[in-house]
Structure 1
């Protein structure tokens, strides 16, 4: 006798057997102005399109639809800004009015359907309002994280060629104010493309001068603007462009369409995150990153939930209890953030003293993504919260989870280090260098079989050829994720890191992820990274970098010896890790990804540039100094020891 199939098994099998029927049923939860002609349009394969011929509007489905259905008085957005001591709740009806007026501002200065709008703004409700205003009139928005360097902003302006830029006078960090206007002015000075207007949100903490004939005061424009209705657009029309760094120096503009995006995100809110209309959902990320777009701005409102816009950090605004205060105060049901946020909290409050000050019993689940969730952080969070801690894996390109423990379908037993199983709609396989499928527990390239489901990138902005070359050429018939990993005998996926995080030590391919897992299991380690540096004898050798938990006072030499032995015990002598350096912080992007590639270039003495997404540039100085203590950064091919 066999066990009956679970809800997950049934959904996964249905999406596999007949994806068109599966996603057509999911799409019926939305309002369509014109029905689609084809659910899956494969006429230009491998450039697949979903719901071609159909017309809808993302803004209508996320805001106006709920107002019409009686949710106008419900909170749509909770703005909580500890850096400005500001809190504000915006109902669905109020949000509808503000978005319609903002769309009127855009329309009054010449923005039409298909035009692009760059949004260079901080974590404020106006950023979300600007995004929806673009969607309302069929304009294409591209959010560039506020504070990006002028050159990087200029590159994106030249690529997107926006008619208008929405910006603010400043952003506010934990200990400083970042004036945006000088950065924007410099970018516009060097950019070849010149937008017609900039609409500037003046923040009281730091106001800026406006450039005559170009700049428009946000508040003044809103008071005189005429609200405009939603414009039906094709499901296949672009909703936004989200830039990621490319290997050529030219940013990759990931395109998200309207129809498939809304269908997929709405489906995930119930089936992956298990939330209902009216629940408070908090994605503690930033606008300008995929998580912010998908799960601060669009998915919660498509589902009729309340979304939290938080202008602060996991620690330092004001302390390591900041997250717990927000959860208690706003009755947050699901928190979604990056593992690095919890490692920061764990480092500052390893025993949970700040946590004990708050009642977070309303929290039903914690979801983590954006980087690999090491087992030590999983166990710490699970013991602290006593609620499900769900690792899930996806990418900017996919826009929603590829693998997850789908709480709205079937809650599977957790295997620390795994995001559980592929989400219905995705066929994930592990291939070797020659494109052959690998057996269970054998590590290789993680790929997704085509066609990708709705909501994933259909192409790159104005560059189909680059999309095909970057993602679809290496393994024909598959999308190349760029990650390495394996699937175990129970169908659980394990992501071990980017393919370029595989290092070659004396002819052996080794995953730095397995070494990091060993290092992070040490009781004194808050977070860690392992990079492979060039070695004349063995091709590469791993070097570990660790950040200690708050209050740990240890001899660096003694601790390093313990950690080296720990890796030897857990990974094996073949790892050849002999150097572990203690640093105060790891260099990361603003979204929490550790800058391993940059650290490797520093160690190897190769040329490198300051990543535009870096959170704290000074961290690279500390890393360079740490490498220098063991004789690294001396130039290509320098051996670092036996």
Structure 2
């Protein structure tokens, strides 16, 4: 007998149909605990049968995407859905459009003109709201301001802005002109910013005097000053001055944001773009080498992100959707800006930290604004866990329907905690996986699907995923292998800016597949668990052990808030395991707890996965998007240079 999660505790079922208590994490992981979809969520869902939709997409791939693309506004229709050979393909060939016509004009000139497009909340509680008509007007004013500086189709504009209305509208303004925006996370250092400006050859930089986070200000303009010093390619720096008194603008190439844009006309014709014309560049940072500038295009990106955002979140006309991310990441581009607004969804964004000024602020916002859908990261869920259930429990979260997690593996304890204390048997808590290059949800659990604890889900309709060994051979269920994708999808990146060979490398590892760089397993039902990057897999005495597995086991202990695990060279075993652990409030580090945690992992995963060392730390190094930087932990432990630290959170 299966039971749905409720506020009275959690139970699931193992593969034999036996009830398992939520606290028995070894059982949950080893027996594949399942939770049925929530009846109220399935009843309201647009998609009620995953397999039927998946089969439909697979049986007529081009027809599937042709039908979806016809939902949107095109200046000129396409003649062919797909052309070329993997990995160099073109989508919606001969089609002409501008993505902003679908994100803005389609709604502003129709029944959604006065519908809220954007709700912005500052960390201090300040609020600004824009209807679709108002957001279109602001976008056009910024576009006209950029045009007055000579910005035109194909020019690159670097956007170094925090999560503000000006930030999202500047992205849209660039797209409207046919300029290519390159958003850099506001807070990356000057060297990282400079390298991205140089690589994109950006003519214009748009920034602000300060950003606000945890009650403090970050002087972003000063970072830009250092980044552009001596860079002749930058013609203008546009500065949104937020502070009073306003900072002076020191050079002839600097101009005030609202002095440039505030009095501009509120209409601006959208540049007609070919389907494969560039829309934006987004840089990703690897552990080695220069950042990769992934480039995306107007046509396929619009169709793919609109569809997969709608599918994964089951977007509805009355949704208030809060994406707890930033425009500096692909999540911000695809599931905060372009995906939701192509669907006419009301989007809430908030500048600042989700735990400031108090640990319950996120739930206050959900309650106040009637948020229905939330996108967040497992790191944030574990942070909420650390504070305790009393914070979400003290708020009315009845408006919530779906919470989706992505960005890293969602460990079972965090998933169960979120189901019990956030979902409360009324809202679904779902996992999914994607990456910058895929540009949208790729593997996931749809609202109509069972949850398989510890597994992200199945390939979404339109994708084909395989798990192979390094020789390209399929691996059996529950055995780790390399996750690869077969074929192409419309919103995927088209190249690495200025480095086509680096783009083609993705398909050279196990041809003809796209290798995502992650290790994964699957169960008998085809549910996939993405364990982490392939370089996050340890080899202990010939056994391949995922760092995420050991971290999940540690975090399942009641004392542990977060864990980071690395492999260290070992003359006997090849590698030994060392764990770094932060504790929840109320727990004290010491030898007794260290032994207890090591024994806990031994019980959960067995002797081969037991850490040889365990160190208590105050915090773990993370990227600004919340991912634990294991390579930095390992470099510090081994006494070597950690490499690129531009994405590390201070």
Give the alignment's TM-score, normalised by structure 2.
0.90
Task: Check conservation: 1:24, 1:39, Cα contact below 8 A.
Answer: yes
Which position in structure 2 is the counterpart of 1:22? 64
State how far apart, in whole Å, the 1-side matches of 2:318 and 2:416 are. 30
2:640 to 597, 606, 618: 606
1:327 to 366, 380, 383: 366
Task: Check conservation: 1:314, 1:345, Cα contact below 8 A.
Answer: no
State how far apart, in whole Å, the 2-side matches of 1:273 and 1:241 are. 25
Can you give the 5+ residue segments of structure 2 that lack an aligned partner in the other structure? 1-46
Q: 476-485 or 501-510: which moved more?
A: 501-510
Q: Report deviation, 1:223.
A: 2.7
1:548 aligned onto 2:548: no
1:48 alignment partner, SS class: strand
State how far apart, in whole Å, the 2-side matches of 1:354 and 1:152 are. 37
Structure 1 residues 15-164: aligned runs within 5 Å: 15-42=57-84, 45-82=86-123, 84-164=124-204
Which position in structure 2 is the counterpart of 1:593? 627
Higher RCO (C-alpha 8 Å, min separation 6): 2
Question: Cα deviations across residues 524-583 of structure 1 (Å, max 9, x unaligned)?
Answer: 11221211122233221111112212222x342111111111111222112241222222
1:496 aligned onto 2:531: yes
2:466 to 420, 423, 429: 429
Q: 201-210 or 367-376: which moved more?
A: 201-210
2:88 alignment partner, SS class: coil
Task: Check conservation: 1:62, 1:304, Cα contact below 8 A.
Answer: yes
Task: Check conservation: 2:631, 2:642, Cα contact below 8 A.
Answer: no
Q: Report deviation, 1:340.
A: 0.7
Question: Cα deviations across residues 46-89 of structure 1 (Å, max 9, x unaligned)?
Answer: 2122112111111110011101112111110000012x331111
State how far apart, in whole Å, the 2-side matches of 1:75 and 1:445 are. 43
Spell out structure 1 runs of 4+ moving beyond 4 A: none
1:220 aligned onto 2:259: yes
Question: Cα deviations across residues 139-184 of structure 1 (Å, max 9, x unaligned)?
Answer: 1000001121111111101110112111101111214211111111
State how far apart, in whole Å, the 2-side matches of 1:587 and 1:71 are. 44
State how far apart, in whole Å, the 2-side matches of 1:86 and 1:571 are. 48
1:195 aligned onto 2:231: no
Give the alignment's TM-score, normalised by structure 1.
0.91
Q: Compared with structure 1, are the counterparts of its residues 125 and 424 closer, same or farther at alpha carbon in structure 2 (3 Å cutoff)?
A: same
Question: Cα deviations across residues 93-152 of structure 1 (Å, max 9, x unaligned)?
Answer: 111111011000011000001111000011111000100000111110000011211111
1:377 alignment partner, SS class: helix
Which position in structure 2 is the counterpart of 1:626? none
Q: Report deviation, 1:610.
A: 5.4
Q: Report deviation, 1:313.
A: 1.3
1:10 alignment partner, SS class: helix
Q: 437-446 or 114-123: which moved more?
A: 437-446
State how far apart, in whole Å, the 1-side matches of 2:179 and 2:172 are. 10
State how far apart, in whole Å, the 2-side matches of 1:321 and 1:576 are. 35
State how far apart, in whole Å, the 2-side matches of 1:329 and 1:389 are. 20
Q: Report deviation, 1:371.
A: 0.8
Which position in structure 2 is the counterpart of 1:439? 476
2:456 to 400, 419, 422: 419
Which position in structure 2 is the counterpart of 1:529? 564
Which position in structure 1 is the counterpart of 2:8? none
Q: Compared with structure 1, are the counterparts of its residues 229 and 128 closer, same or farther at alpha carbon in structure 2 (3 Å cutoff)?
A: same
Can you give the 5+ residue segments of structure 1 that lack an aligned partner in the other structure? 617-642
State how far apart, in whole Å, the 1-side matches of 2:596 and 2:558 are. 11
Q: Compared with structure 1, are the counterparts of its residues 279 and 169 closer, same or farther at alpha carbon in structure 2 (3 Å cutoff)?
A: same
State how far apart, in whole Å, the 2-side matches of 1:537 and 1:89 are. 62
Question: Cα deviations across residues 179-223 of structure 1 (Å, max 9, x unaligned)?
Answer: 1111111111154x5211111100126742213320111111123
State how far apart, in whole Å, the 2-side matches of 1:556 and 1:30 are. 60
2:500 to 461, 464, 485: 464
1:224 alignment partner, SS class: coil
Task: Check conservation: 1:179, 1:206, Cα contact below 8 A.
Answer: no
Q: Compared with structure 1, are the counterparts of its residues 190 and 577 closer, same or farther at alpha carbon in structure 2 (3 Å cutoff)?
A: farther
State how far apart, in whole Å, the 1-side matches of 2:380 and 2:288 are. 30
2:350 to 295, 298, 310: 310
Which position in structure 1 is the counterpart of 2:489? 453
Task: Check conservation: 1:167, 1:198, Cα contact below 8 A.
Answer: yes
Task: Check conservation: 2:309, 2:440, Cα contact below 8 A.
Answer: no
State how far apart, in whole Å, the 2-side matches of 1:582 and 1:293 are. 36
Which position in structure 1 is the counterpart of 2:7? none
2:596 to 542, 557, 562: 562
State how far apart, in whole Å, the 1-side matches of 2:245 and 2:370 are. 32
Q: Report deviation, 1:337.
A: 0.7
1:518 aligned onto 2:553: yes
Q: Report deviation, 1:265.
A: 1.7
1:579 to 604, 607, 613: 613
Task: Check conservation: 1:74, 1:278, Cα contact below 8 A.
Answer: no
State how far apart, in whole Å, the 1-side matches of 2:272 and 2:625 are. 33
| Coordinate RMSD, CA, aligned | 1.5
Task: Check conservation: 1:79, 1:310, Cα contact below 8 A.
Answer: yes
Count of matched residue pairs = 600
2:543 to 508, 513, 517: 508
1:238 aligned onto 2:278: yes
